[in-house]
């Protein structure tokens, strides 16, 4: 009873006034966006457990004397978003006013003129500049919004060595690779990579530098 009285007579706590944060200003599409959210070439940016698997596989190749040159690991989803939608505006004539937004990417696909009206020509020009800066002028398909690179579970790397390659599998067993070619396309090296959970692209020689967590 006393407790109830105390509760009813206690002054209510002050409720802070919440002021919505101002929306970040949206920057019109254009070439400046292309330098942002770059694709990584660092193993550290991969997603676990693939990151640790890849690190171990590369360490084994290093220890064996192979040369490993990484071109790409993680492609940030923000970059995939920018590449995808600028291509769609230019190649598929997608309406810049209907492009879905993405958190953390305050881009204005739809440009406006001095009167605040939609400027279709400027919108297209902004997207066109991005397509060119990404080197996608001749690309005949929309860049993916999802992939192993975007998930951090893929790597593009050039691998080479001289003579025979004596390398440790994940279980510690030593394997001497005498077969050809002395590159990442070597079938015996692919088997060694698989012991680390790093799988060569299943599509044969059509994508020679690509390895991933699932072979895709």
Which range, of 50-58, 98-106, 134-142, 181-189, touches another protein by CB under 8 A? Answer: 134-142
- 150 touches another protein (CB under 8 A): yes
Residue 139 Ramachandran class (φ > 0 left, ψ -120 to 50 alpha, else beta): beta
Q: Quick one: which of 56, 78, 95, 147 contacts another protein (CB under 8 A)? A: 147
Which one, 148 or 165, has the nearer CB to another protein? 148
What's the half-sphere exposure (Cβ side, CA atoms, 13 Å) at 161? 23
Which range, of 24-32, 48-56, 76-84, 165-173, touches another protein by CB under 8 A? Answer: 76-84
Which one, 126 or 209, has the nearer CB to another protein? 209
* 3-class state of residue 68 by DSSP: strand
Cis peptide, bond prior to residue 204, ω within 30 of zero: no
Return all residues near 181 (Cβ < 8 A) that are at least 6 apart: none
End-to-end C-alpha distance for the chain, whole angstroms: 68
Q: Residue 154 CB: number of other CB atoms within 10 A?
A: 27
Size of the site for another protein (CB under 8 A): 34
- Give min distance, CB of 169 to another protein, in A: 27
Contact residues for another protein, defined by CB under 8 A: 38-39, 71-72, 75, 79-80, 83, 91-92, 134-136, 138-144, 146-150, 156, 201, 203, 206-210, 216
């Amino acid at each position: 009873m006393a407790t109830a009285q105390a509760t009813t007579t206690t002054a209510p706590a002050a409720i802070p006034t919440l002021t919505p944060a101002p929306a970040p200003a949206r920057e019109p599409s254009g070439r400046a966006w292309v330098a942002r959210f770059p694709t990584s070439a660092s193993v550290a940016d991969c997603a676990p457990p693939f990151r640790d698997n890849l690190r171990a596989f590369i360490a084994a190749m290093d220890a064996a004397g192979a040369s490993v040159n990484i071109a790409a690991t993680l492609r940030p989803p923000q970059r995939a978003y920018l590449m995808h939608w600028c291509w769609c505006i230019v190649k598929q004539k997608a309406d810049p006013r209907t492009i879905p937004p993405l958190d953390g990417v305050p881009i204005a696909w739809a440009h406006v003129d001095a009167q605040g009206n939609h400027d279709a020509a400027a919108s297209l020009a902004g997207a066109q500049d991005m397509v060119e800066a990404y080197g996608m002028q001749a690309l005949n398909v929309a860049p993916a919004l999802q992939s192993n690179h975007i998930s951090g579970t893929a790597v593009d790397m050039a691998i080479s060595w001289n003579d025979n390659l004596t390398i440790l599998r994940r279980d510690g067993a030593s394997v001497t690779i005498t077969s050809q070619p002395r590159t990442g396309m070597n079938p015996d090296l692919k088997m060694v990579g698989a012991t680390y959970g790093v799988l060569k692209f299943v599509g044969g020689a059509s994508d020679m530098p690509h390895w991933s967590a699932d072979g895709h």
